[in-house]
Structure formats: structure tokens, C-alpha cells
Amino acid sequence: MSKETKYLLSESDIPKAWYNINADMPIDPGETAWNAVLDPATQKPLTPDALSAIFPKRFVELTASTDRWVEIPEPVIDVYKLWRPTPLIRARRLEKALDTPAHIYYKYEGVSPVGSHKPNTAVPEAFYAKDEGATGMITLTGAGQWGSALAMACRFFDLECHVYMVRVSYYQKPYRRILMESFGATVLPSPSDTTEYGRKLLAEDPDHPGSLGIAASEIVEAAATLAGKLKFGAGALLGPVLMHQTVIGLEALQQFELAGEYPDVVIACNGAGSNFGGFAFPFLHQNFTAGKNTRAIAVEPMACPSLTKGKYTFDCADAANTWPLMKMHTLGHSFVPAGIHAGGLRYHGMAPHVSALYDHGDIEAVAVHQRPTFDAAIQFAGEEGILPAPESAHAVKVAIDEALRCKEAGEAKVIAFNLSGHGHYDLGAYDAYLKNELEDYEYPDEAVQEALSQVPEVALG
Amino acid sequence: MSKETKYLLSESDIPKAWYNINADMPIDPGETAWNAVLDPATQKPLTPDALSAIFPKRFVELTASTDRWVEIPEPVIDVYKLWRPTPLIRARRLEKALDTPAHIYYKYEGVSPVGSHKPNTAVPEAFYAKDEGATGMITLTGAGQWGSALAMACRFFDLECHVYMVRVSYYQKPYRRILMESFGATVLPSPSDTTEYGRKLLAEDPDHPGSLGIAASEIVEAAATLAGKLKFGAGALLGPVLMHQTVIGLEALQQFELAGEYPDVVIACNGAGSNFGGFAFPFLHQNFTAGKNTRAIAVEPMACPSLTKGKYTFDCADAANTWPLMKMHTLGHSFVPAGIHAGGLRYHGMAPHVSALYDHGDIEAVAVHQRPTFDAAIQFAGEEGILPAPESAHAVKVAIDEALRCKEAGEAKVIAFNLSGHGHYDLGAYDAYLKNELEDYEYPDEAVQEALSQVPEVALG
């Protein structure tokens, strides 16, 4: 076995194709309609033509594709080369501090210029839009992690980028807004005066704080007005997004060959599925087709436990009830999670692929509280140097728990997790933790029951 | 010639020894007393014993060493492995945007966990302190780049870390303070109530904004009180610091072999010398001993042009006139540079090694204004993705200027610069730039003349 700390690949090792789990899903799409996307008005499946008014055509094609391997376009690989392949790192100092016989590895996506895994899908989406003659892209963002990835990708392909940022974040967390603007993006506090809906809300309350749901509704209105010149950039949830992210797991597979080991368990935080899917799906492919038996654990916050406590049913993709219905593990689209610092994990639903795999028993899920998650993040930073993003810290927490179980059991298991981003934009959260001001929000049963009661009844025909 | 974007090395390529330019300095120390360190009270050279009360003994030994290669201790290499070797990247997209025949390469030190080159010296300094039985380290920091590197290094070697942070930065720029605290450091706003001097200033003005000079005086008092239990961590200026940083240039030399090219010019920003020295000295070694002829350009801000406009003479190392006298290019220790955003370049003096080499004609220096520097940074980010630290942007600016000169002349020169850090903690500066609020501060002749008139007269011998 190798003695290295980091397992590095060369540029020629960047995967030539993404892995499309549609080809291997252990569930027949007809069986549970797990991958149907329904028009919220008619509850009939949306046609590719309807979807192509919003998304790039290529993106819509990929949604339905069952090709196992989808070639990565050369211009996308050229951009990936700026920071990919990302390192796989053996956390030797952490292992020693935990005094565990387990081997702990982490794939580090924070080396991307914007500090997270998000550009893995932003870049191909911008490429498709450019390739199909769009003049720009439009999207929404909470604290700005997705928005900054799309802003960078649009700059690379010489596209406009319009980002609707939740108004309260726009003013309170200006750093990622400035990063987006540095890449030439137009960032609008939502509600904004660019849509009828936004103007109405601002007339009622000029200091309206906004929400992702409101931003989503503004996007729908703005995209319709712009009639296809701007394509919508999707940061999570949808099949092609998860597929674009599989470069992470595909690289990790090669890196484990260099390390001469194979993971017994892979772990990733899970907000709307793209980080978890990107890391875990290539290992599931090995489980499905090559006789491997790796456990895949999705980690979610106790304050927003869509897999572990949600219902598997059709629900709206957005809080405002204007986006399509998808079958997913959901807490109800009107459920408002408590204000935990892992903003990227505060989503009521879950990617249909991840939901179906969980329902089918192919993956596991664990929910963790905020404070022990930050405990784990601080311990990790003290040993490995990298301060994790609060989202990524959820995976750190469960990896440490697994390593401690190995210590008790005396088992030298191989544990791998995806460190999806660094925490340089999240120091406010660490400050609150260090001042002992963080709360552990219990999952409020009644709120979820109330929200689930508003989930539309869908009778597929 | 290779077609790669990034030139990566494996861990076994981390240099086994630092390069000590003392062995090759083209100036006899006796000739100009360029490397003497004088007691400010007596103006006599400080003895190793006196210095060892403050610095680790090994650090003091290295100050005088003329061994060309100094072995890097194994525990230091083990920590370097967490992020080193850092990549050398060919800026192919930038070259294309500039339409230049030049080849532009940058060494990227922002991949370190704290985002800059500073840990290259923080780690060995903490190792020496631990090895010699100290319980911790003490230092001062402006905006916190050096402090966060030392905090991380101390955490790795299980040492206390006490950082005196200029009070106005402590409150206005909390992010790096929180990063230091996340590594377990004690960060004190200076003036603080831990020293007599600090208490006196706070009694006069409880909201005293502080300065690096005041923090320096507090450190001297606190270190004396603590009687050697805490060692002082030096972030720049001194010979061993520059030597520790030569891992940067030594790796780059190996990476240029992989690229099949050799730089005609190397460029680095220059505040107190350690970033420039770390990148350029290994190339100077090739100039001195292997017949190479690479130009080395130190870039400084027009608002603080210690090489291009300063006087080469003995001056105090700190603004408060309590630290030793060193021979250096200086604007006068009482010179207060304008508030440019590249805080790391706002220092009145310059490392004695860099000063002597400049005086002797072995290196070049260029001063640039703030606004065109940010123009260059934005262009660089748009092509290469990485938003540079404002300090590092000075090197970007001069690299682009050189590349444009090559375009005019039709010369395919090889240009290399050190991108010493990322700008994730400097978005406030980018916001000011994007709002067109940055000023280009002219170098104020009278202020420098006034400050130079306060430089002590030293009669050696």
C-alpha cells in the first residue's frame, strides 16, 4: 500500500465521459414514475419542447438519455483542466488524532476557483447554452455558491449571467455577490424590479427579505419574457446536474487504484443531491455491475431531514409552487427549515435519483445536528488544515463517527468522503460556533405535517 | 514542448533542502554591512544569544549560515505534504485573450489551507520552537494573513499561538481573526490590556485603532515578560524566512523541466521580501552558478515604493523604533503609506537580501498603481478563474505588461510569476474597485523626505 498523503492525477486522467446512472437505475421508470417531471398546472409530464424553452436543448436530451457514458465536450474538459483532477487526500493526521485503525480519505473539491464542486455542472451548462446560440444564462442563488460558479462559467464562454440573489443575503453576505460581479455577472436582489411579481412585493414592502421561492418565481417570469435568449442554469436536483458531477467519483475511483485500496463506505453531504450523486454514483456503478459492495451514506442536517424524515411523493420543486412536480423525498414545499449555517442543505426536497435509490434501499442516509458537525469541522481543520464549508462538514462528522466505530470494533475499514468546499466564505458561522451561539434545531414534526398536507395529490394515469 | 495546463509534481518531489542565498550573495558582507542586525540602543551588532531570547535558536543559527542547501526537517515536509507541491499553471486562456506570443506561467501558492505562501515559513518556525521546548509562539499581524498561517502551524505542532492584531482590523476585518481562532489561536486587538504599553494607550483612548508599530512594541514587551516560553514568529524580512520560502522557486524549477521551457523573466510582488525571495532566489542561483540569465522583477505599489524610491541605509525594522536596525531600502520607519488594499505591501522597508541584490544590480524593481493592478486582476480572474489577492495582483499586472511588450516586439518569451494567494478574504477591495472607488495614490515626496530625516545615523566600525 502506498505511503502518500495526496493522490494526484494528471490532466489526461480527467474522465472523458460522465457516468449516467439512468443506464443502471435498479428501478424501472414505469414502476413508480420516479423520474417523471410534471407540469404543475396539468400534472401531465412536461414535453422536451416545453423544457427546452427554459433549459439548453442538450440538457433536456440528457435528462432522458440512458447512455451509460456521455462524452464530455472538449471545451468543457479544457476548462476543467484549470483545476481538475482534484486531489484525493489521505487524512493521516486525522487518523492519528482519532487513534483509529480506519483509513480515512477525502476528495477535495474546494480547489476549484470558486471553492466548491458547483463549477463541475456550471461549465457544461454554460457550454450548451453558448453552443445553442443563447446570449446568456439566468439563475437564482441563496448565499451565492451556485451563483458564483455559474458566473465564472458564463465568463469563460462569453455569456451574460443574471443571478437573482435572495435579498437578505445580497445585503448581509456581500462577499459572494462581489465574486459574481468580479466575473461580470449582473446580480439582482430578489425581489427585484425586473419582474411584475418582484415589483408587486417591493411595493408592499420595500425592505422585503426575499426567499429562494420568490427568486424562483421571478426567474420563471423573467425567463418567459426573455423568450429563450437566456437559458436557465440548474445547480442541483436534475439528472444531468448529478451526471456532470460524476467527474468527482470517477476521478476518485482512479485515485483509489493508485492508493491500492477500495472504500468500504463513501460519504457525502446531501442538500438537493448533486454533491452526493457526483461522488457516490460511480461507486454505485461498481456495486451494480462489478460485484462491489460499498456503502453510500448521504448526510443531511437534522433541521432539514428530507430523506430520513420526508415522504416519498410528488411535490413541487420550488417553495413558490410554480416549478414542475417531481417524485422525491420531501418535507413539503412550504416547509421552512430553521436557519442553520449550511445554507446549501436547506432544501425541502431531494433529487429524484437519490430519492428513488434511497427508497429502493441502495443507499443509506443519516441526519446530524449542527453543533457536533462544527465540532467535527474544527477537529478536521486542526489536523488537516482545511476549514470545511458548513455543508461539507456534515460529511466530515459522519466520517469521524465511522472511524470511531472502527476503533471500537478494531476494524481497519476504508472510509472516503467528499469535501465539497472550503469555508472561507463561512467564517461568520464559525464565529457563532466559537462564541457558543449555535443551536441544534430539532426537526419540528408539526411543521412538516402541516407542510406535507399542502403537497399536491397526483394521480398518474 | 508539453501541452499541459498544469504542471504537477508528486510529494517525493518536494525539495529536501531549502536554498540559502547567503552562500551565493554577490556582495561581501563586510563590504557594505548589508546583513548586519544592530541593537537600536547601542548600534552594535546583536549577538546570537540576544536574538535567541526572542527567536528559536535554530532560526538564529540559520541567519548566519552560509550552507548553500539546508535540509528540511522531516516533520516539516510531512506538513508541507498537506498542500505541496503547489501547481505551476500555464495561463493559456490569458495568453489567448492577450493575443501574445509569450508563454505565461504562474506558480499558485493559494492552494495552501490559509490561501497564501505564508505557511512555508510558519511551519518550520513552529517546528523549531516546539523542538526547542517552547510552549507557544507570539506574533503580530495586520489583516491576518501571516497570523492565520502561524495559527495553523502552531496547531499542527501543538503550540499556543498569541497573535496581536491591529485593533482596527480586528474589528473591521473579522474573517481572518475567526480563521485564527478556529485553529485555537488567542487573538488580541492591539493595543491590548496584556502589556503596560497597551494599557497606557487604552487608558488614553479606549477606542485606539492601533498600528503595526504599536503591535510590535507590545510584542517586544510581552516576549520579554514571558522569558522565552513563547518564541517570536517572523513572517517576512529576515534571511531564514526568505530561505524557507525558496520551496516555491525550487519546485518551479522542476516544473519548468516538465514543461520543457525556462523562464526569461520571473516576477513576484514584494512587500518585505519573502514572497519575491522565495520565488526568485532559486532562479538567481541558476544565474549565479549555471550561466542562466533570467530577469527577476520585484513589483511594489506606487504608494509604498521602498525599492524604486527608497534610500539604501540602516533603518529600524518597525515603525515604533524599538526593533533592530537593518540595512535596507527604506522610505523611513515613520513613513505611513496610503491605505491601499494590498495590505501586505504596506511596509516602509525591504528585506536586507533583496535590498542588497537590488543595490548591486542583480534584480529589477517596478512600482505600479492600484487601479491598473485591479484591472489586471479582473482580467486574470475572467480568463483563469482565480481571483488574486490584491498583493499578488501586482505580479499579474507586470506579467501582463511584459506579455503585451512581447506582442509588440513579436517575441515568444517565457514569463513566470508567483500568484502568492487568492482574494477570497479581499472581496471588500474588489467591491470598491467595481464601484470605481479606488484611488491611485501618488508617492508623496515630502512625506518620504520627512520620514527619511528621522532615520538614525549609523556609523559602523
- Measure A194 CA to nearest chain B CA, in Å: 21
> How confident is the model at residue B350, as a pLDDT?
96
Query: Which of B6, B152, B186, B187 to mutate to test binding with chain A, by most A CBs within 10 Å of its CB?
Result: B6
Helices (H), A183-329: 196-204, 212-226, 239-244, 247-259, 274-290, 306-309
Chain centroid, CA B282 distance in Å: 16
Nearest to A174 among B10, B113, B431 (CB): B431
pLDDT higher at B434 or B229: B434
Asked if B306 and B300 touch (Cβ cutoff 8 Å), the reply is yes
Query: Which of A11, A424, A430 to mutate to test binding with chain B, by most B CBs within 10 Å of its CB?
Result: A424
Distance CA A220, CA A216 (A): 6
Coil vs helix vs strand at A47: coil
Look-up of cell digits 502568492: B420
C-alpha angle A213-A216-A217 in degrees, rounded to nearest 5: 90
| Cβ burial, residue B208 (10 Å; 0-12/13-18/19+) | middle
Contact A382 B81 (CB under 8 A): no
DSSP string, A90-148: E-HHHHHHHT-SSEEEEEEGGGSTTSBSTHHHHHHHHHHHHHTT-SEEEEEESSSHHHH
Distance CA B274, CA B233 (A): 14
Q: Omega into B240 within 30° of 0, i.e. cis?
A: no
pLDDT in tens, A264-273: 999 999 999 9
Distance CA B413, CA B397 (A): 17
> What residues does B17 pair with on adjacent strands?
B71
pLDDT higher at A444 or A145: A145
The percentage of chain B sitting over the pLDDT mark of 70, rounded to a whole number, equals: 99
Contact A381 B183 (CB under 8 A): yes
Nearest to A152 among B4, B152, B385 (CB): B385
Three cell numbers at B203?
487608558
Least confident range of A177-191, A340-354, B15-29, B103-117: A340-354
Q: Chain A contacts of B184, Cβ < 8 Å?
A: 382
Nearest to B427 among A11, A178, A430 (CB): A178
Look-up of cell digits 448581509: A172
CA distances from A94 to A297, A403, B111, B156 (A): 20, 10, 20, 11
Contact A424 B427 (CB under 8 A): no
Contact A381 B83 (CB under 8 A): no
Contact A5 B93 (CB under 8 A): no
Contact A182 B425 (CB under 8 A): no
Q: Chain A contacts of B178, Cβ < 8 Å?
A: 427-428, 430-431, 434
| Cβ burial, residue B105 (10 Å; 0-12/13-18/19+) | buried
pLDDT over 80 at A228, yes or no: no
Distance CA A314, CA A52 (A): 22
Asked if B193 and B219 touch (Cβ cutoff 8 Å), the reply is no
Q: How many CB atoms lie within 10 A of CB A50?
A: 13
Contact A6 B5 (CB under 8 A): no
**Identity of the residue numbered B237:** L
Asked if B393 and B374 touch (Cβ cutoff 8 Å), the reply is yes
Distance CA B383, CA A182 (A): 12
pLDDT over 80 at B460, yes or no: no
**Identity of the residue numbered A230:** L
- Measure B115 CA to nearest chain A CA, in Å: 9
Q: How many secondary structure helices (H) and strands (E) does chain B include? A: 20, 16
Predicted TM-score (pTM) of the model is 0.97
Q: Which helix (H) or strand (E) holds A359?
A: helix A352-360
C-alpha angle B272-B354-B223 in degrees, rounded to nearest 5: 45
Q: Chain B contacts of A10, Cβ < 8 Å?
A: 4, 8
Contact B115 A431 (CB under 8 A): no
pLDDT over 70 at A157, yes or no: yes
pLDDT in tens, B363-374: 999 999 999 999
Q: At what angle do helices B174-182 and A427-434 cross, to 10 degrees?
A: 60
Q: How many CB atoms lie within 10 A of CB A408?
A: 8
Nearest to A115 among B4, B381, B424 (CB): B424
Nearest to B178 among A83, A89, A427 (CB): A427
| Cβ burial, residue A298 (10 Å; 0-12/13-18/19+) | buried
Q: pLDDT confidence of A1, banded at 50, 70, 90?
A: low
Distance CA B186, CA B136 (A): 11
Nearest to A179 among B113, B182, B387 (CB): B387
Distance CA B58, CA B401 (A): 41
pLDDT over 80 at B461, yes or no: no
The percentage of chain A sitting over the pLDDT mark of 90, rounded to a whole number, equals: 79
- Measure A432 CA to nearest chain B CA, in Å: 10
Quick one: DSSP state of residue A12? G
Contact B382 A175 (CB under 8 A): no
Contact A434 B181 (CB under 8 A): yes
Q: How many secondary structure helices (H) and strands (E) does chain A include? A: 20, 16
pLDDT over 70 at A461, yes or no: no
- Measure B157 CA to nearest chain A CA, in Å: 10
> B97, B422, B105, B102: which is closest to A156 by C-alpha?
B97
Q: What is the CA radius of gyration of chain B?
A: 21
> How confident is the model at residue A344, as a pLDDT?
86
How many residue pairs bridge chain A and chain B with CB atoms within 8 Å of each other?
109
Q: What is the CA radius of gyration of chain A?
A: 21
> What residues does B315 pair with on adjacent strands?
B326
CA distances from B292 to A72, A99, B249, B265, B357 (A): 42, 50, 15, 11, 17
pLDDT over 60 at B1, yes or no: no
pLDDT in tens, A19-64: 999 999 999 888 889 999 999 889 999 999 988 888 999 999 999 9
> B198, B176, B224, B197: which is closest to B54 by C-alpha?
B224
> B138, B117, B116: which is closest to B190 by C-alpha?
B138
Nearest to A5 among B8, B81, B430 (CB): B81
Kindly list the strands in the beta sheet with A6-7, ordered across the sheet, starting from the edge strand earlier in the chain.
A6-7, A88-90, A103-108, A414-419, A265-269, A295-301, A364-368
pLDDT in tens, B334-354: 888 888 888 888 888 999 999
Query: Which of A105, A109, A387, A435 to mutate to test binding with chain B, by most B CBs within 10 Å of its CB?
Result: A387
> How confident is the model at residue A326, as a pLDDT?
95
Q: Chain A contacts of B179, Cβ < 8 Å?
A: 387, 424, 427, 430
Least confident range of A111-120, A240-249, B30-39: B30-39
Three cell numbers at B61?
543559527
Q: Chain A contacts of B115, Cβ < 8 Å?
A: 424
Q: How many CB atoms lie within 10 A of CB B282?
A: 23
Distance CA B162, CA B303 (A): 31
Q: Span A172-197, mean pLDDT?
A: 94
pLDDT over 70 at A357, yes or no: yes
DSSP string, A163-179: EEEEHHHHHH-HHHHHH
Coil vs helix vs strand at B237: coil
Q: Omega into B191 within 30° of 0, i.e. cis?
A: yes
Distance CA A85, CA A82 (A): 9
> How confident is the model at residue A53, as a pLDDT?
86
Q: Chain B contacts of A6, Cβ < 8 Å?
A: 11, 81-82
pLDDT in tens, B151-194: 999 999 999 999 999 898 898 889 999 999 999 999 999 999 99
> How confident is the model at residue B245, as a pLDDT?
98
Query: Which of B83, B88, B177 to mutate to test binding with chain A, by most A CBs within 10 Å of its CB?
Result: B83
Dihedral (C-alpha) A375, A380, A383, A386: value to the nearest 10 degrees?
Answer: -130
Evaluate the CA torsion angle A199, A205, A206, A211 in order and state its sign.
Answer: negative
| Cβ burial, residue A292 (10 Å; 0-12/13-18/19+) | middle
Nearest to A111 among B5, B78, B111 (CB): B111
- Measure B363 CA to nearest chain A CA, in Å: 31
Nearest to A184 among B93, B179, B382 (CB): B382
Q: How many CB atoms lie within 10 A of CB B181?
A: 22
Kindly list the strands in the beta sheet with B311-316, ordered across the sheet, starting from the edge strand earlier in the chain.
B37-38, B325-330, B311-316
pLDDT in tens, B398-430: 999 999 999 999 999 999 999 999 999 999 999
pLDDT over 90 at A142, yes or no: no
Distance CA A306, CA A314 (A): 13
- Strand pairing category for A136-141 and A160-166: parallel
Q: Which chain B residue's Cα is nearest to A3? A: B11
- Measure A341 CA to nearest chain B CA, in Å: 15
Nearest to A113 among B8, B385, B425 (CB): B385
Distance CA A65, CA A17 (A): 14
> A70, A63, A59: which is closest to A15 by C-alpha?
A70
Q: Chain A contacts of B430, Cβ < 8 Å?
A: 178-179, 181-182
> How confident is the model at residue B227, as a pLDDT?
64
Q: How many CB atoms lie within 10 A of CB B66?
A: 11
C-alpha angle A129-A130-A134 in degrees, rounded to nearest 5: 65
**Identity of the residue numbered B406:** C
- Measure A383 CA to nearest chain B CA, in Å: 7
> How confident is the model at residue A227, as a pLDDT?
64
DSSP string, A409-453: HT---EEEEEE-BB-TT-HHHHHHHHTT--------HHHHHHHHT
User: Which ipTM score applies to this complex?
Assistant: 0.96
